[in-house]
Protein backbone atom coordinates (compact mmCIF):
# COMPACT_ATOMS: atom_id res chain seq x y z
CA UNK A 1 0.00 0.00 0.00
CA UNK A 2 2.77 2.43 0.89
CA UNK A 3 4.54 1.78 -2.41
CA UNK A 4 1.29 2.41 -4.31
CA UNK A 5 0.85 5.73 -2.54
CA UNK A 6 4.42 6.82 -3.30
CA UNK A 7 3.86 6.00 -6.99
CA UNK A 8 0.70 8.13 -7.07
CA UNK A 9 2.32 11.03 -5.19
CA UNK A 10 5.25 11.01 -7.62
CA UNK A 11 2.82 11.12 -10.56
CA UNK A 12 0.76 13.89 -8.91
CA UNK A 13 3.83 16.07 -8.43
CA UNK A 14 5.04 15.46 -11.98
CA UNK A 15 1.68 16.06 -13.66
CA UNK A 16 0.90 19.21 -11.68
CA UNK A 17 4.21 20.81 -12.63
CA UNK A 18 3.88 19.70 -16.25
CA UNK A 19 0.32 21.06 -16.62
CA UNK A 20 1.48 24.53 -15.62
CA UNK A 21 4.44 24.45 -17.99
CA UNK A 22 2.37 23.22 -20.93
CA UNK A 23 -0.29 25.87 -20.42
CA UNK A 24 2.37 28.58 -20.41
CA UNK A 25 3.73 27.14 -23.65
CA UNK A 26 0.26 27.18 -25.22
CA UNK A 27 -0.38 30.78 -24.16
CA UNK A 28 2.87 31.89 -25.76
CA UNK A 29 2.57 29.91 -29.01
CA UNK A 30 -1.11 28.89 -29.48
CA UNK A 31 0.03 25.42 -30.58
CA UNK A 32 -2.85 22.87 -30.90
CA UNK A 33 -0.55 20.08 -29.75
CA UNK A 34 0.38 22.06 -26.64
CA UNK A 35 -3.28 22.62 -25.80
CA UNK A 36 -3.96 18.88 -26.18
CA UNK A 37 -1.05 18.15 -23.88
CA UNK A 38 -2.36 20.74 -21.40
CA UNK A 39 -5.73 18.95 -21.31
CA UNK A 40 -3.86 15.71 -20.87
CA UNK A 41 -1.77 16.87 -17.90
CA UNK A 42 -4.68 18.62 -16.16
CA UNK A 43 -6.70 15.44 -16.44
CA UNK A 44 -3.77 13.34 -15.18
CA UNK A 45 -3.36 15.63 -12.17
CA UNK A 46 -7.04 15.25 -11.28
CA UNK A 47 -6.76 11.51 -11.80
CA UNK A 48 -3.99 11.23 -9.23
CA UNK A 49 -6.20 12.99 -6.70
CA UNK A 50 -8.92 10.39 -7.31
CA UNK A 51 -6.40 7.58 -6.90
CA UNK A 52 -5.27 9.04 -3.57
CA UNK A 53 -8.90 9.23 -2.44
CA UNK A 54 -9.30 5.58 -3.40
CA UNK A 55 -6.20 4.61 -1.43
CA UNK A 56 -7.36 6.56 1.63
CA UNK A 57 -10.91 5.19 1.41
CA UNK A 58 -9.65 1.64 0.96
CA UNK A 59 -7.71 1.85 4.23
CA UNK A 60 -10.89 2.16 6.29
CA UNK A 61 -11.66 -0.72 8.63
CA UNK A 62 -14.48 -3.08 7.80
CA UNK A 63 -17.88 -2.25 9.23
CA UNK A 64 -21.34 -3.72 9.69
CA UNK A 65 -22.36 -2.45 6.26
CA UNK A 66 -19.07 -3.45 4.62
CA UNK A 67 -18.02 -6.70 6.32
CA UNK A 68 -15.15 -7.30 3.88
CA UNK A 69 -13.79 -3.78 4.17
CA UNK A 70 -13.49 -1.00 1.59
CA UNK A 71 -10.74 -2.41 -0.63
CA UNK A 72 -12.92 -2.29 -3.74
CA UNK A 73 -13.01 1.50 -3.44
CA UNK A 74 -9.68 1.51 -5.25
CA UNK A 75 -11.24 -0.44 -8.13
CA UNK A 76 -14.06 2.12 -8.36
CA UNK A 77 -11.83 5.19 -8.30
CA UNK A 78 -9.44 3.65 -10.81
CA UNK A 79 -12.42 2.99 -13.09
CA UNK A 80 -13.50 6.60 -12.60
CA UNK A 81 -10.02 7.73 -13.60
CA UNK A 82 -10.26 5.83 -16.88
CA UNK A 83 -13.61 7.48 -17.63
CA UNK A 84 -12.20 10.94 -16.94
CA UNK A 85 -9.14 10.15 -19.03
CA UNK A 86 -11.52 9.36 -21.89
CA UNK A 87 -14.08 12.11 -21.30
CA UNK A 88 -11.82 15.05 -20.54
CA UNK A 89 -8.31 14.52 -21.87
CA UNK A 90 -8.99 12.16 -24.77
CA UNK A 91 -12.16 13.67 -26.18
CA UNK A 92 -11.12 17.31 -25.79
CA UNK A 93 -7.70 16.64 -27.29
CA UNK A 94 -9.11 14.75 -30.26
CA UNK A 95 -11.84 17.34 -30.86
CA UNK A 96 -9.35 20.21 -30.75
CA UNK A 97 -6.95 18.39 -33.07
CA UNK A 98 -9.73 17.56 -35.54
CA UNK A 99 -10.87 21.18 -35.58
CA UNK A 100 -7.29 22.33 -36.18
CA UNK A 101 -7.04 19.97 -39.18
CA UNK A 102 -10.27 21.33 -40.70
CA UNK A 103 -9.32 24.93 -39.98
CA UNK A 104 -5.52 25.00 -40.02
CA UNK A 105 -3.67 28.01 -38.71
CA UNK A 106 -0.01 28.35 -38.04
CA UNK A 107 0.94 28.43 -34.35
CA UNK A 108 2.15 31.81 -33.15
CA UNK A 109 5.83 31.08 -33.00
CA UNK A 110 6.90 34.72 -33.14
CA UNK A 111 9.63 35.65 -30.71
CA UNK A 112 7.89 36.57 -27.41
CA UNK A 113 9.29 39.03 -24.93
CA UNK A 114 9.44 38.26 -21.24
CA UNK A 115 10.89 40.71 -18.70
CA UNK A 116 12.41 42.69 -21.54
CA UNK A 117 14.18 39.68 -23.06
CA UNK A 118 13.22 38.40 -26.51
CA UNK A 119 13.70 34.69 -27.16
CA UNK A 120 12.68 32.25 -29.95
CA UNK A 121 9.04 31.26 -29.42
CA UNK A 122 9.33 27.68 -30.61
CA UNK A 123 11.97 26.98 -27.98
CA UNK A 124 9.33 27.56 -25.31
CA UNK A 125 7.47 24.46 -26.48
CA UNK A 126 10.67 22.49 -26.90
CA UNK A 127 11.77 23.31 -23.36
CA UNK A 128 8.35 22.59 -21.86
CA UNK A 129 7.97 19.23 -23.60
CA UNK A 130 11.51 18.13 -22.79
CA UNK A 131 10.86 19.13 -19.18
CA UNK A 132 7.60 17.15 -19.27
CA UNK A 133 9.44 14.08 -20.54
CA UNK A 134 11.93 14.43 -17.68
CA UNK A 135 9.18 14.73 -15.04
CA UNK A 136 7.15 11.87 -16.51
CA UNK A 137 10.24 9.68 -16.74
CA UNK A 138 10.70 10.14 -12.98
CA UNK A 139 7.10 9.09 -12.27
CA UNK A 140 7.28 6.27 -14.82
CA UNK A 141 10.43 4.91 -13.20
CA UNK A 142 8.70 4.51 -9.82
CA UNK A 143 5.61 2.85 -11.31
CA UNK A 144 7.76 0.63 -13.54
CA UNK A 145 9.85 -0.54 -10.57
CA UNK A 146 6.72 -1.39 -8.59
CA UNK A 147 5.07 -3.41 -11.35
CA UNK A 148 8.40 -5.13 -12.09
CA UNK A 149 8.51 -6.30 -8.48
CA UNK A 150 5.02 -7.74 -8.88
CA UNK A 151 6.04 -9.54 -12.09
CA UNK A 152 9.01 -11.11 -10.33
CA UNK A 153 6.99 -11.99 -7.23
CA UNK A 154 4.21 -13.70 -9.22
CA UNK A 155 6.48 -15.18 -11.90
CA UNK A 156 4.51 -13.48 -14.69
CA UNK A 157 5.91 -13.49 -18.22
CA UNK A 158 5.99 -9.71 -18.55
CA UNK A 159 4.01 -6.49 -18.55
CA UNK A 160 1.27 -7.83 -20.82
CA UNK A 161 0.43 -10.60 -18.36
CA UNK A 162 0.75 -8.22 -15.41
CA UNK A 163 -1.72 -5.80 -17.06
CA UNK A 164 -4.34 -8.57 -17.24
CA UNK A 165 -3.68 -10.21 -13.87
CA UNK A 166 -2.60 -7.61 -11.31
CA UNK A 167 -5.12 -6.54 -8.68
CA UNK A 168 -3.06 -3.46 -7.76
CA UNK A 169 -5.07 -1.16 -10.03
CA UNK A 170 -3.57 1.99 -8.51
CA UNK A 171 -0.08 1.19 -9.75
CA UNK A 172 -1.52 -0.15 -13.02
CA UNK A 173 -3.36 3.14 -13.61
CA UNK A 174 -0.33 5.25 -12.72
CA UNK A 175 1.91 3.22 -15.03
CA UNK A 176 -0.59 3.53 -17.88
CA UNK A 177 -0.90 7.28 -17.41
CA UNK A 178 2.86 7.76 -17.26
CA UNK A 179 3.35 5.67 -20.40
CA UNK A 180 0.86 7.61 -22.51
CA UNK A 181 2.16 10.87 -21.05
CA UNK A 182 5.65 10.07 -22.35
CA UNK A 183 4.26 9.03 -25.73
CA UNK A 184 2.05 12.13 -25.90
CA UNK A 185 4.90 14.50 -25.14
CA UNK A 186 7.01 12.79 -27.81
CA UNK A 187 4.25 13.06 -30.43
CA UNK A 188 3.67 16.74 -29.59
CA UNK A 189 7.39 17.48 -29.79
CA UNK A 190 7.61 15.84 -33.22
CA UNK A 191 4.52 17.63 -34.54
CA UNK A 192 5.69 21.05 -33.39
CA UNK A 193 9.16 20.45 -34.81
CA UNK A 194 7.81 19.40 -38.22
CA UNK A 195 5.49 22.42 -38.33
CA UNK A 196 8.41 24.70 -37.48
CA UNK A 197 10.66 23.15 -40.15
CA UNK A 198 8.08 22.91 -42.96
CA UNK A 199 5.83 25.83 -42.10
CA UNK A 200 2.83 23.48 -42.45
CA UNK A 201 0.44 23.68 -39.43
CA UNK A 202 -1.07 20.30 -40.34
CA UNK A 203 1.68 18.42 -38.50
CA UNK A 204 0.89 20.22 -35.24
CA UNK A 205 -2.85 19.62 -35.69
CA UNK A 206 -2.43 15.92 -36.55
CA UNK A 207 -0.24 15.38 -33.49
CA UNK A 208 -3.01 16.89 -31.32
CA UNK A 209 -5.54 14.47 -32.86
CA UNK A 210 -3.22 11.50 -32.40
CA UNK A 211 -2.72 12.37 -28.73
CA UNK A 212 -6.49 12.41 -28.20
CA UNK A 213 -7.06 9.10 -30.00
CA UNK A 214 -4.23 7.49 -28.03
CA UNK A 215 -5.69 8.71 -24.73
CA UNK A 216 -9.13 7.36 -25.58
CA UNK A 217 -7.70 3.99 -26.59
CA UNK A 218 -5.73 3.57 -23.37
CA UNK A 219 -8.70 4.79 -21.32
CA UNK A 220 -10.98 2.11 -22.78
CA UNK A 221 -8.35 -0.59 -22.11
CA UNK A 222 -7.90 0.64 -18.54
CA UNK A 223 -11.66 0.73 -17.93
CA UNK A 224 -11.95 -2.85 -19.20
CA UNK A 225 -9.27 -4.08 -16.81
CA UNK A 226 -10.91 -2.30 -13.87
CA UNK A 227 -14.30 -3.77 -14.81
CA UNK A 228 -13.08 -7.33 -14.21
CA UNK A 229 -12.17 -6.50 -10.62
CA UNK A 230 -15.28 -4.44 -9.90
CA UNK A 231 -17.40 -7.42 -10.96
CA UNK A 232 -15.48 -9.76 -8.64
CA UNK A 233 -12.72 -11.53 -10.53
CA UNK A 234 -11.21 -14.76 -9.27
CA UNK A 235 -7.58 -15.81 -9.38
CA UNK A 236 -6.27 -16.89 -12.80
CA UNK A 237 -7.11 -20.54 -13.49
CA UNK A 238 -3.62 -21.94 -12.95
CA UNK A 239 -3.13 -20.07 -9.67
CA UNK A 240 -6.56 -21.06 -8.38
CA UNK A 241 -5.88 -24.69 -9.29
CA UNK A 242 -2.66 -24.55 -7.28
CA UNK A 243 -4.60 -23.43 -4.20
CA UNK A 244 -7.24 -26.09 -4.82
CA UNK A 245 -4.50 -28.72 -4.84
CA UNK A 246 -3.25 -27.42 -1.50
CA UNK A 247 -6.64 -28.26 -0.05
CA UNK A 248 -7.00 -31.54 -1.95
CA UNK A 249 -3.61 -32.84 -0.81
CA UNK A 250 -4.24 -32.15 2.86
CA UNK A 251 -4.35 -35.28 4.99
CA UNK A 252 -7.91 -36.42 5.69
CA UNK A 253 -9.47 -34.65 2.68
CA UNK A 254 -11.49 -37.00 0.50
CA UNK A 255 -12.62 -34.45 -2.10
CA UNK A 256 -12.91 -30.73 -2.81
CA UNK A 257 -16.61 -30.35 -3.64
CA UNK A 258 -16.46 -26.63 -4.47
CA UNK A 259 -13.63 -24.06 -4.51
CA UNK A 260 -13.89 -20.33 -5.19
CA UNK A 261 -11.66 -17.27 -4.98
CA UNK A 262 -12.44 -13.58 -5.42
CA UNK A 263 -10.57 -10.32 -4.99
CA UNK A 264 -12.30 -7.88 -2.64
CA UNK A 265 -9.42 -5.37 -2.67
CA UNK A 266 -5.96 -4.91 -4.18
CA UNK A 267 -3.91 -8.01 -3.39
CA UNK A 268 -6.63 -9.07 -0.95
CA UNK A 269 -8.15 -12.45 -1.72
CA UNK A 270 -11.13 -14.34 -0.28
CA UNK A 271 -11.10 -18.17 -0.53
CA UNK A 272 -14.10 -20.39 0.11
CA UNK A 273 -14.21 -24.19 -0.16
CA UNK A 274 -16.63 -27.03 0.41
CA UNK A 275 -14.42 -29.88 1.58
CA UNK A 276 -15.45 -33.52 2.00
CA UNK A 277 -13.45 -35.22 4.75
CA UNK A 278 -12.89 -38.90 5.42
CA UNK A 279 -15.79 -40.49 7.26
CA UNK A 280 -13.63 -41.78 10.11
CA UNK A 281 -12.53 -38.28 11.25
CA UNK A 282 -13.97 -37.05 14.52
CA UNK A 283 -14.92 -33.39 15.04
CA UNK A 284 -11.70 -32.45 16.83
CA UNK A 285 -9.51 -33.96 14.13
CA UNK A 286 -11.60 -32.27 11.43
CA UNK A 287 -11.06 -28.90 13.13
CA UNK A 288 -7.31 -29.53 13.10
CA UNK A 289 -7.40 -30.37 9.40
CA UNK A 290 -9.34 -27.18 8.65
CA UNK A 291 -6.79 -25.10 10.56
CA UNK A 292 -4.00 -26.78 8.59
CA UNK A 293 -5.77 -25.97 5.30
CA UNK A 294 -6.19 -22.32 6.23
CA UNK A 295 -2.53 -21.95 7.20
CA UNK A 296 -1.36 -23.74 4.06
CA UNK A 297 -3.47 -21.47 1.81
CA UNK A 298 -2.04 -18.33 3.38
CA UNK A 299 1.49 -19.67 3.00
CA UNK A 300 0.85 -20.65 -0.63
CA UNK A 301 -0.37 -17.17 -1.63
CA UNK A 302 0.22 -14.08 0.48
CA UNK A 303 -2.80 -12.37 -1.11
CA UNK A 304 -5.09 -14.75 0.80
CA UNK A 305 -6.59 -12.73 3.65
CA UNK A 306 -9.82 -14.57 4.46
CA UNK A 307 -10.61 -18.28 4.30
CA UNK A 308 -14.00 -19.94 4.78
CA UNK A 309 -14.20 -23.74 4.88
CA UNK A 310 -17.49 -25.68 4.69
CA UNK A 311 -16.64 -29.14 6.09
CA UNK A 312 -18.61 -32.10 4.80
CA UNK A 313 -18.60 -35.84 5.23
CA UNK A 314 -19.33 -38.18 2.41
CA UNK A 315 -22.65 -38.93 4.00
CA UNK A 316 -23.61 -35.37 4.93
CA UNK A 317 -22.39 -31.91 5.91
CA UNK A 318 -21.10 -30.39 9.09
CA UNK A 319 -21.21 -26.88 10.52
CA UNK A 320 -19.38 -24.16 8.58
CA UNK A 321 -16.10 -23.04 10.10
CA UNK A 322 -14.17 -19.99 8.94
CA UNK A 323 -11.27 -17.85 10.06
CA UNK A 324 -10.16 -14.37 9.06
CA UNK A 325 -6.54 -13.53 8.37
CA UNK A 326 -6.08 -9.80 8.88
**What is residue 317's predicted lDDT score, i.e. its pLDDT?**
47
Task: Kindly report which listed range (2-6, 55-59, 75-79, 274-278) carries the lowest average pLDDT score.
Answer: 2-6
Q: Do residues 179 and 47 both lie within one domain?
A: yes
What's the domain range around 211? 2-230
Q: What is the pLDDT of residue 106?
A: 58
Binned at pLDDT 50, 70 and 90, residue 293 comes out as very high
Same structural domain, 175 and 275: no
Domain finish residue from 230, 255, 274? 230
Query: What pTM did the predictor assign?
Result: 0.72
In terms of C-beta distances under 8 Å and separation of at least 24 residues, what long-range contacts does 199-205 make, across chains too?
199/106, 201/32, 201/100, 201/104, 201/105, 201/106, 201/107, 202/101, 202/104, 204/31, 204/32, 204/33, 204/100, 204/107, 205/32, 205/33, 205/97, 205/100, 205/101, 205/104
Whether the pLDDT of residue 29 is over 80: the answer is no
278: domain CATH number is 3.30.70.1350
* 319 lies in the same domain as 174: no
**Rounded to 5 degrees, what are φ and ψ at 165?**
-115, -25
Q: What is the CATH number of the domain that holds 137?
A: 1.20.1510
pLDDT in tens, 208-247: 899 889 888 888 888 887 888 888 888 888 889 999 999 9
214, 230, 246: which is the final residue of a domain?
Answer: 230
How many structural domains is the chain composed of?
A: 2
For the chain, what percent of residues have pLDDT higher than 70? 88
Which pLDDT does position 113 carry in this prediction? 54
Asked if the model's pLDDT at residue 36 lies above 70, the reply is yes
Percent of the chain with pLDDT over 90: 13
Amino acid sequence: MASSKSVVLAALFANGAIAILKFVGFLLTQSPAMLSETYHSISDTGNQVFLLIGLRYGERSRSRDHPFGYGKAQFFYSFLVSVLLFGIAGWESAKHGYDAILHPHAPDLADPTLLGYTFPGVWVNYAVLLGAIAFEAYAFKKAHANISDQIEENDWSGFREAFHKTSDVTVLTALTEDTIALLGAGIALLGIYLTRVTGNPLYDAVSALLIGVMLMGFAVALAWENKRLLLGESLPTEEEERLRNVVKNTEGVADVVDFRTVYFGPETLLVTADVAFDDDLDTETMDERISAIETALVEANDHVQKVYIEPERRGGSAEQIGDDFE
